[in-house]
Structure 1
Amino acid sequence: MRTVKVDVAVIGAGSAGLSAYRTAKAAGASVVLIEGGAHGTTCARVGCMPSKLLIAAAEAAHSAAATAPFGVHVDGTVRVDGREVMQRVRSERDRFVGFVVDGVEKMPEADRLTGYARFIDDNLLQVGDHTKVSARSVVIATGSSPVVPAMYRALGDRVVINDDVFDWTDLPRRVAVIGAGVIGLELGQALSRLGVDVTLIGARGKVGPLTDPDITAYAAKVFDDAFRFEARTDVEAVSRDGDEVQIRYRTSDGELRDITVDYVLVTAGRKPNVGSLGLENTSIALDESGVPVYDPLTFQAGAHPVFIAGDVNGVLPLLHEAADEGRAAGANAARFPEVTPLVRRAPISVVFSDPGIAMVGASYRDLTPGSFVTGEVSFEDQGRSRVMLRNRGLMHVYVDKASRQFVGAEWIGPDAEHIAHLLAWSLQMKLTVDAMLAMPFYHPVVEEGLRTALRSAAERLGAVG
């Protein structure tokens, strides 16, 4: 057992950990990056990129099957080859992972330790059975893992998480997706469009991250028209019979339904990866999840030289946020005891469904009733959307009554991922609805729908933009 001394130890080589390492290194600190699992980041290996590869295949299949309304007829039926679909997903996924791994391998060998880290005390870590690390500061960037409730764990290899989907060599016939959050929506719709018989089972009426009741209800109808989408159910029984799974659930109107599937894909939330860190050996205060109690701006755990960044803190499990948090945590760890709060970018989140879902700024749930007006647009008759036959969507924009500043939006609609960036930039620049309406809108584009929503908000404020 050897002992190494460093200024900063970073636990976890994901998006946050890599950013923390690079930032601390750039600040002149001696740094060691510790990783016990596979390199490649959650995004590249089992998250953002492989899911978009699956979604891209699904969009191709859907587009090919939806040409007739344009007067374009494809002879025969669209055939989806599941093996070819999954081969491309795995191949391109491995390519993205390879880029990340190559970057790690280019780091100085002395800066990399392989093994799971465990606190022995506040400033001493043990890595595997080979190294002790004495660190002046520590960054915990261990990420999160999918939660699989006990009733589904009994299904053995018939229950899968999103990590498993991207290792499939072929597409199954029938899948039940448990959870109507972002991952459930994206994978559920993609699998359905690729010919898989999908039943998506939610619990509380949730549709992705949406909180606006009107937008949520509209979105639920859109997905229910596309595949079997049960947003509010109570699963009463799950059992396995050979390679099949029987699920009995009760719908929101009290109807009891039974389905048989080949796999159950559980997307019911994630938990922080802190269980094996030995935090009980430290004097750090922990919350009910076992995560150090920390300052959400500096990421510092109490008065300790320990910083929590990325998905492990459960605040904003998005790649760009994890990278920002990693940079802030790495800088503060290197400069400790001098710490600087992170100035966050405008909040933005996107669900890569079709139509897309997006949220920018304050959610409807977080706004104070009576403090804002809501501007609205339906994309059903929006010009460019109708031209493309992508005219399903409803958008709400929220504008502060006193300042006339744009404060947030929730919507489902075409090109949501692109419109979200326009709104996030407007929010970060603290623009008023009047200033936004003074910006150019080309014709005919989907963004003209955003202008309609902004005009609606301006009218409700008492002036037409």
Structure 2
Amino acid sequence: MLGQEPQVERCEGGFLVRAGEHAVRVEKLFLAIGRQPHLAGLHLERLGAPLDARGVPAHDSATLKVKGAPVYLAGDAAGGIANLRRAAEQGRIAGWNATHRRKHRYATRTHLAIVFSEPNIASIGREWDTLDPQRLAVAEQRFGPVGRAMIMGQNRGMLRIYADRRSHRLLGAAVVGPRCEHLAHLICWAIENRMTVERALEMPFYHPVIEEALQDALLTLKAELARLPLRWRLLPRRPAPVRKPAADLPAPA
């Protein structure tokens, strides 16, 4: 159902949810639509900077300074996801830059979003619709056979992870499953450190733990990369030309 626009209608006993060719009846719906920053009363249009569709003025995403005005934005007011850690870091940088000539810059980090539902839902790294599927290797791992999840009686869910076919670097993942808030952090750290699939598999894994779902997904991803089409393989470097020794060169006239 991923990638399809959902259609919801009431039915006897709950709701009917349709997405593409799929349909499912459920008793209840969990609706997560986010929040909007309270910008209307600030009259930001008086700054003279162009506003986007949400009323956020144009600003430097690194220094957080509004274009053409001595005003700095942070957190929800700066647009993007509503995240406490991100807002706090931006607040420190905006406060510093507002009072110092030498500016600090906000460094964009690997995307990480978690819904603290049961089971957890998480999105990590590059979003799928921003990437070229032809350049990706993808692996899926269900939680059904994961030992620790079976012991807890919570072995329903799926981890989907993808990497670049040429460099083998991890790019992103999406997961619905038990305690996947922890898996999400591990994957996020690996992406932030530009790890390849092979390097991530060199990390230690214990048994029985939920993290074994990630290990299995990485093994599947490694096997997928081994089936790389020839057009994606890097050509070997040509050997450097062999110079003739000085003794073989003709003497100067």
TM-score greater than 0.5 by the shorter chain: yes
Residue 301 to residue 412, structure 1, CA distance change in 2 (3 Å): same
- Which residue of structure 2 aligns with residue 427 of structure 1? 191
What SS class does the counterpart of residue 308 from structure 1 fall into? coil
Q: Does 1:315 align with 2:90?
A: no
Say whether the 8 Å CA contact 2:63–2:93 is kept in structure 1.
Answer: yes
Cα displacement (A) at 1:234: 5.6
2: distance between equivalents of 1:282 and 1:347? 30
Q: Which whole-Å deviations, capped at 9, do the CAs of 1:333-383 have from their partners, x for residues lacking one?
A: 1224x4343112322111111111111111222222211101211101211
What SS class does the counterpart of residue 123 from structure 2 fall into? strand
Cα displacement (A) at 1:387: 1.5
Cα displacement (A) at 1:267: 5.5
Q: Does 1:333 align with 2:116?
A: no
Q: Match for 2:114 among 350, 356, 360?
A: 350
Residue 447 to residue 250, structure 1, CA distance change in 2 (3 Å): closer
What SS class does the counterpart of residue 7 from structure 2 fall into? coil
Q: Match for 1:286 among 51, 56, 60?
A: 51
Q: Does 1:416 align with 2:180?
A: yes
- Which residue of structure 2 aligns with residue 385 of structure 1? 149
* Long gaps (5+) in structure 1: 1-204, 206-211, 218-230, 236-247, 260-264
For 2:186, the aligned partner's letter is: L
2: distance between equivalents of 1:384 and 1:315? 35
Residue 267 to residue 378, structure 1, CA distance change in 2 (3 Å): closer
What SS class does the counterpart of residue 306 from structure 1 fall into? coil
For 1:418, the aligned partner's letter is: H
1: distance between equivalents of 2:192 and 2:137? 19
Cα displacement (A) at 1:281: 3.1
- What percentage of aligned pairs have identical amino acids? 35
For 1:438, the aligned partner's letter is: E
Residue 370 to residue 413, structure 1, CA distance change in 2 (3 Å): same
- Which residue of structure 1 aligns with residue 235 of structure 2? none
Residue 425 to residue 307, structure 1, CA distance change in 2 (3 Å): same
Residue 298 to residue 455, structure 1, CA distance change in 2 (3 Å): same
Cα displacement (A) at 1:327: 1.6
Greater gyration radius: 2
Report matched runs for 1:12-411 at 5 Å.
Answer: 212-213=2-3, 232-233=7-8, 252=18, 268-336=33-101, 338-411=102-175
For 1:299, the aligned partner's letter is: L
2: distance between equivalents of 1:353 and 1:420? 14
What SS class does the counterpart of residue 373 from structure 1 fall into? strand
Query: Which moved further from structure 2: 278-287 or 301-310?
Result: 278-287
Q: Which whole-Å deviations, capped at 9, do the CAs of 1:311-346 have from their partners, x for residues lacking one?
A: 12330211111111112212221224x434311232
Say whether the 8 Å CA contact 1:298–1:329 is kept in structure 2.
Answer: yes
2: distance between equivalents of 1:249 and 1:354? 20
For 1:403, the aligned partner's letter is: S
2: distance between equivalents of 1:348 and 1:403? 22
Cα displacement (A) at 1:251: 5.6
Between 1 and 2, higher relative CO (CA 8 Å, sep ≥ 6) is seen in 1
For 1:319, the aligned partner's letter is: L
Say whether the 8 Å CA contact 2:35–2:82 is kept in structure 1.
Answer: no
2: distance between equivalents of 1:295 and 1:374? 35
Cα displacement (A) at 1:289: 2.7
- Which residue of structure 1 aligns with residue 202 of structure 2? 438
Cα displacement (A) at 1:284: 2.8
Residue 340 to residue 408, structure 1, CA distance change in 2 (3 Å): same
Relative to its length, the structure with more strand (as a share) is 1
Say whether the 8 Å CA contact 2:137–2:165 is kept in structure 1.
Answer: yes
Q: Which whole-Å deviations, capped at 9, do the CAs of 1:165-198 have from their partners, x for residues lacking one?
A: xxxxxxxxxxxxxxxxxxxxxxxxxxxxxxxxxx
What SS class does the counterpart of residue 289 from structure 1 fall into? coil
Say whether the 8 Å CA contact 1:364–1:410 is kept in structure 2.
Answer: no
Say whether the 8 Å CA contact 1:272–1:291 is kept in structure 2.
Answer: no
TM-score normalized with structure 2 length: 0.76
Paired positions, count: 217
TM-score normalized with structure 1 length: 0.43
Residue 266 to residue 407, structure 1, CA distance change in 2 (3 Å): closer
1: distance between equivalents of 2:31 and 2:195? 41
* Long gaps (5+) in structure 2: 228-253
Cα displacement (A) at 1:303: 2.7
2: distance between equivalents of 1:369 and 1:352? 29
Residue 420 to residue 286, structure 1, CA distance change in 2 (3 Å): same
- Which residue of structure 1 aligns with residue 240 of structure 2? none
Cα displacement (A) at 1:454: 0.5
Say whether the 8 Å CA contact 2:56–2:79 is kept in structure 1.
Answer: no
